[in-house]
Structure 1
Amino acid sequence: MKPLYIIGAGGAAKEIYLLVKELNKVDHIYEFKGFVDITTERFLQIGGAQHDIINESVLLHESDEKVAIVFGLGDINKLKKIVVQYTDKDIFEFPNIIHPSVQIDESISLGMGNVITTHSVFTVDTVLGSFNYINRGVHLGHDCKIGSYNVINPCSVISGGVTIGDENLIGTNATILQYLEIGSKNKIGAGAVVTKDILDNSCMIGIPAKNIE
């Protein structure tokens, strides 16, 4: 079994812990070693059980063990800064963590460090970059191209042929219509319906979605 640490000690990290547990029920892949954070707390409580929180400096500067790293962070800006600290070291690996219930075609191309949670659907010929967090029930249509460091929240629908850049936050139940282009560093609100291309640094809400920045 591969030793695995989860970076973070909040809600997203707890959900990834449960995802890893589900993976191990199907195939014993990972040995969970603990959560990693800068907090002064020593333990994280999950379902009545206590789990170790390891100080980040220990893992970054004192460990020489080859281990798998998963980032349990919902803040895109914080995530990107922390990822750089770990990718600079060759002892760390960044597996794609995919829940067993996910429907994903073999034609899908994945980078590294992606988290794809329960009951998401990836159809065919989609390209996904690295360090994306795909929340439960997300649907990605055919021929989509998704960059890196995106957070796509539950039950969002991204139609066929959509291109999405980097560092976007896509809200719960949002819909992006087919063949649109979405830039980088955008926020798309919960329930929004995107009907036209979006450049960068926009905040889109409503039906149809309009920029309020």
Structure 2
Amino acid sequence: MLIGAGKFALEVARYVEDMNADRSEFRIAGYLSVAAEADVVDAELVLAEHQVPSSAAVVVAVADIGARREIIDGYVRPSGRTAANIVHPSTRIDPAALSGDGNVLGPWCYVGVDTLIGSFNVVNYQCSIGHHSRLGSNNFLAPNFNCGNSVGIGDDNFFGLSCTVAPEVSVGDRSVFQAGICLFEDPPSDHSYFLPNRLKSMKSLKEMT
């Protein structure tokens, strides 16, 4: 059962289809609509009103970090439902790297040796995570994210397109990183990070009004 009926849910559904190309591993029982996003697929069921059958595993197919955390802590964990790991068949990862549940890894990703991934992370397509790194829980890595070896990433972070994290950098929790950022130092938690030229553009627009 996919929790979410928006655009990202369709993307996750395609990953499941690709997983089933060689063998029938999962069957999508349906989509649960959530208040945090507009539906783009038919979802007659609403998360707040529907109880997932105990035999069905769930996948959090919502992109917004805050909404994901509410679903995880407010529904999935209290209900005791099994959260499936969705790993696209083109991705290279050791099974032992998935130390948690509920993760979604898209196509053409690489996860290095002795790396550990927690629970409910989204690793979008064409991402790489260097060897001996640690990824916490409920992080969203947009396409073309890359990090070096021995990187530590906490919980509830959002990385935009094509972000890069240098080796041995430690990222905290609950931060947002704009597309294209390169991190060479440890960023504090609970911040939003922008490129300098983006800040200049924002300032110029403000001065014009």
Per the normalisation by structure 2, the TM-score is 0.86
| Structure 2 unmatched runs, 5+ | 203-209
1:30-89 alpha-carbon deviations (Å, 9 max, x no partner):
1211100146xxx854xxxxx5432224433xx543111001111111111111212212
Q: Residues 16 and 109 from structure 1, CA distance in 2 versus in 1: closer, same or farther, beyond 3 angstroms? A: closer
Structure with greater proportional helix content: 2
The question of whether the paired residues in 1 share the 8 Å contact of 2:7 and 2:40 is answered with no
2:162 corresponds, among 173, 192, 199, to 173
2:44 paired residue number: 53
1:112 aligns with 2:108: no
The question of whether the paired residues in 1 share the 8 Å contact of 2:3 and 2:34 is answered with no
1:48 paired residue number: none
Q: What SS does the aligned partner of 2:30 have?
A: strand
Task: Give percent identity, aligned residues only.
Answer: 26
The question of whether the paired residues in 2 share the 8 Å contact of 1:120 and 1:137 is answered with yes
Paired residue type of 2:169: L
1:182 aligns with 2:171: yes
Instruction: Report the number of matched residues.
Output: 196
| Structure 1 unmatched runs, 5+ | 46-50
Q: What SS does the aligned partner of 1:20 have?
A: helix
Paired residue type of 2:139: N
RMSD of the TM alignment (CA)?
Answer: 2.3
Structure with greater proportional strand content: 1
Q: Residues 134 and 83 from structure 1, CA distance in 2 versus in 1: closer, same or farther, beyond 3 angstroms? A: same
2:17 corresponds, among 17, 21, 42, to 21
1:115-140 alpha-carbon deviations (Å, 9 max, x no partner):
00010110111111100011000100
Q: What SS does the aligned partner of 1:110 have?
A: coil
Paired residue type of 1:188: F
1:137 paired residue number: 126
The question of whether the paired residues in 2 share the 8 Å contact of 1:9 and 1:53 is answered with no
Distance in 2 (CA, whole Å) between partners of 1:207 and 1:107 is: 39
The question of whether the paired residues in 1 share the 8 Å contact of 2:158 and 2:176 is answered with yes
